Amino acid sequence: MNKISLLLITGILLICCRKKTIQNMKEKSRGFIAENAMVVSAREEASKIGLDIMKQGGNAFDAMIATDLALLVSYPVAGNIGGGGFMVFRMADGTSGALDYREMAPILATKNMYLDQEGKVMSEKSKTGALAIGVPGTIAGLFEIHNKFGTISIEKLIQPAINLANAGIVITLAQANRLNQHKASFRNVNQRQILYDKQWRAGDIIKNPSLAKTLERIKTEGRDGFYKGKTADFIVNKVQNLGGIITKEDLENYNVKWRDPIIFNYNGHKIISMPPPSSGGICLAQILKTIEPYNIGQYKHNSKKYIQLMVEAERRSYADRSYFLGDPDFVDISKDSLTSIKYLSKRMKSFNWDKATKSSDLSRGSFLGHESDETTHYSIVDCEGNSVSVTTTLNGAYGSKVFVDKGGFFLNNEMDDFSVKPGTPNMFGLIGAEANSIAAKKRMLSSMTPTIIETNGQLKMVLGSPGGSTIITTVLQNILNVLDYNMTMEESVSKPRFHHQWLPDNIKFETSFDTTVFSSLKKLGYKVDNSDFLVIGKTDAILVLPDGRLEGGADPRGDDKAEGF
Ligand code: DON
C-alpha cells in the first residue's frame, strides 16, 4: 500500500469515526430508542407488561388495558380502578377519537353539598373521605376500549396484573416516602389500619391478594365484576359506612362517552387533544393559537420574552376556563368561538410587552395552597403505528384515601374538581362558576390533556402529564420544546418548567429554573414564585424520529420508564 492510499484510508476512517461520535453524542441526549413499539409510563413494571402484550401481537389498545391495570397494582397513588380518565387515540391511518371515562357525581349529589348552613365551604369534605368520591369510570372505560379495539382476550390482558398483585410489588424510595407521608390520613379516613398503613422502606414488597381477587372477578364477570355483585357491595358498604352517598344504582348506571377530540393546527402540525369535560384540549388550543402569530421560536427558550408571551396567553385561557367550561352534557360550550383566531387576538389586545397584565383586570379570585397530588399519564405506540395517549387519576394522592379493604383499592376524590362554590378555589387553586357546579350524574371539569400530534400526515408525538392545573401548561411547554426548539423527547421532558393559571396572579417556577430571568420579569410587574412547588407534571411521551424509530421521554422527576422493542 503506498503512502497516498494509506493517508486516504486513514482519512476515511477518521471521517467515519467522527460521524459516529457525533451520532453517539446526539443519541446520548436522546431518551430510550426503539424500532417498533413503545410504552412510557410511571412504573417500569407497567411499561414492561404493556410492551409484553405488544410482543405477543397485541395492539396499542390491548397494551393500554394491561398497562393501566399494572399501574393500578404497582402505582397505587394514582393507578386505579376507583377513579377515571381520558384516552385520545390515533390509528395508523390517521383516524382519531377520544374516550371519556371520567367519574360522575352520585345521584344524591347536590349543588351545595359542601356548604354548611351558613353557606360556608366545608373545604375538606370535597377533598378527603367518603363524600369526596365520584362514581368510578376506569373499568367501564377499559371494557369499552376492549370491545371496540381489543385483539387479545381480556383474560390475557388482566392476568399480568393479577400475577403482580399476588407476587407483590417492590416499592421504590419515592413510593415508600409517599406512603409514609400519608400514613396518618389513611388511618383517620378509614378509622382502621389499611394495607398501606405501615412504615415502609425502599425495597419492601407489597402484596395485595384482595386486589388480585377483585381482578379475578372482573376477569370472569367482565365489567359487572366491578359495577355489580361482590365488588359493588364492598364499595357501597365501605362508602356508606364512612358517610358517603354512592349507591348500587350509581355504579350500575355509570356510562362512558365517546367524544370528538379537539383538533387544531399549530404551525402546520395537527394537534389532537381531549375535549370537555376536560379543559385540556380547549385551553391548549387557545394558548397555542394565541402565541402562534408571535413566532415564539425566535425568542431564547425560557427567556423573558418567551415566558411573558406564554404567561399572558395562559392567564387569558385559564380565566376563560373558570367561567365557560364544564360537562358538555350539562352546559353549552362555544368551543369554536373560544378557540377562534378572531376571539383570541381580541383577548390579546390588552397585552403589552412593557407591562404585565393584571389578572384582576381580567377577573378576580383568591387562592389556597397545593397539597401533594398525583395522576398518571402513559403513552403507547404499537408496531402498526397506532397510538394511545392516556391520563388517569384518583385526583389527589391515593384519592379520597378511602380504601375498599375487601377489594384492595383506593377510591377517588374527584368531586373536588367541581366548583363547590363560585369563586372558591379547589385544591389546585382553580376557580369555577355555574358551568362547573355540582349536579347529579354530572362530570367534573378536568385539566387532563392526553394529546397526539401529527405532522405531514404522519404520527409525530404522543404525550400527556399529571399535575392538576399544571397539566395543560406542562403539555404546552413540551410541545413547544420539540416543535419550536427542536429538542429531543428526553431533553424536553427534563427541562425546568413554569406555570401561570390566571389566579393566583403569579408565575410558579420549578426550583431548578434559572433565576437570572426573574429580576427583569419583576420589573415588568410579574410576580415570581419559585418556592417548592409540588404539583408540576411528569411528562411521559413518545417522539417519532425522522427515520421512523421511536424515542421515549420518561420524566426524570419520577421513577418513570420507557420500554420498547
Ligand atoms: O382531572 C384533573 O384535572 C385532576 N383531577 C387531575 C389531578 C392531578 O393531576 C393530580 N396530579 N398530580
Q: Of 284, 294, 298, 269, which is closest to residue 485 (Cα–Cα)?
A: 298
Minimum CA distance residue for ligand 1 atom 10: 374
Minimum CA distance residue for ligand 1 atom 5: 395
* DSSP percent split of the chain into helix, strand, coil, nearest 5: 40, 20, 40
Instruction: Please indicate whether residue 468, judged by its CB atom, sits closer than 6 Å to ligand 1.
Output: yes
**Tell me, what's the pLDDT at 436?**
96
**Tell me, what's the pLDDT at 361?**
87
How far apart are the CA of 355 and the centre of ligand 1, in A? 32
pLDDT tens for residues 388-422? 999 999 999 999 999 999 999 999 999 999 999 98
Q: What pairing do the DSSP bridges indicate for beta strands 550-554 and 498-499?
A: unpaired
Q: Using the structure block, give the residue that is written with the C-alpha cell 365551604.
A: 121
Pocket probe for ligand 1: among 436, 448, 538, the residue whose CB has the most ligand atoms within 8 Å is 448
Q: Using the structure block, give the residue that is written with the C-alpha cell 484510508.
A: 9
DSSP symbols for 29-86: TS--EESS-EEEES-HHHHHHHHHHHHTT--HHHHHHHHHHHHHHH-TTT--SSSEEE
Minimum CA distance residue for ligand 1 atom 2: 446
Instruction: Please indicate whether residue 103, judged by its CB atom, sits closer than 6 Å to ligand 1.
Output: no
Q: Of 174, 173, 224, which is closest to residue 202 (Cα–Cα)?
A: 173
Residues forming the active site: 375
Residues 6+ apart with CB under 8 A from 230: 217
**Whole-angstrom distance, CA of residue 227 vs CA of residue 215:** 12
**Tell me, what's the pLDDT at 531?**
87
Residues of the chain falling short of pLDDT 70 = 1-28, 363-373, 533-535
Pocket probe for ligand 1: among 322, 393, 394, the residue whose CB has the most ligand atoms within 8 Å is 393
**Whole-angstrom distance, CA of residue 501 vs CA of residue 242:** 35
Minimum CA distance residue for ligand 1 atom 11: 374
How far apart are the CA of 287 and the centre of ligand 1, in A? 20
Nearest-atom index, ligand 1, CA of 466: 9
| 3-class secondary structure, 294 | helix
Nearest-atom index, ligand 1, CA of 102: 1
Distances (CA, A) of 80 to 100, 125, 137, 193, 376: 15, 21, 10, 20, 10
Pocket probe for ligand 1: among 278, 374, 395, the residue whose CB has the most ligand atoms within 8 Å is 395
Produce one character per residue of 536-553: b if its CB has 16 or more CB atoms within 10 Å, e if not.
bbbbbbbbbeeeeebbbb
Asked if 454 and 113 touch (Cβ cutoff 8 Å), the reply is no
| Cross-strand pairs, 34 | 550
Q: In sequence order, which ranges of 182-334 are alpha helices (DSSP H)?
A: 183-190, 209-221, 224-227, 229-241, 248-253, 280-291, 304-324
Asked if 279 and 476 touch (Cβ cutoff 8 Å), the reply is no
pLDDT tens for residues 32-44? 999 999 999 999 9
Q: Using the structure block, give the residue that is written with the C-alpha cell 377517588.
A: 412
Instruction: Please indicate whether residue 375, judged by its CB atom, sits closer than 6 Å to ligand 1.
Output: yes
Distances (CA, A) of 554 to 385, 440, 548: 20, 38, 19
pTM of the model: 0.93
Q: Of 416, 479, 94, which is closest to residue 284 (Cα–Cα)?
A: 479
Instruction: Please indicate whether residue 447, judged by its CB atom, sits closer than 6 Å to ligand 1.
Output: yes
Instruction: Please indicate whether residue 466, judged by its CB atom, sits closer than 6 Å to ligand 1.
Output: yes
**Tell me, what's the pLDDT at 533?**
65
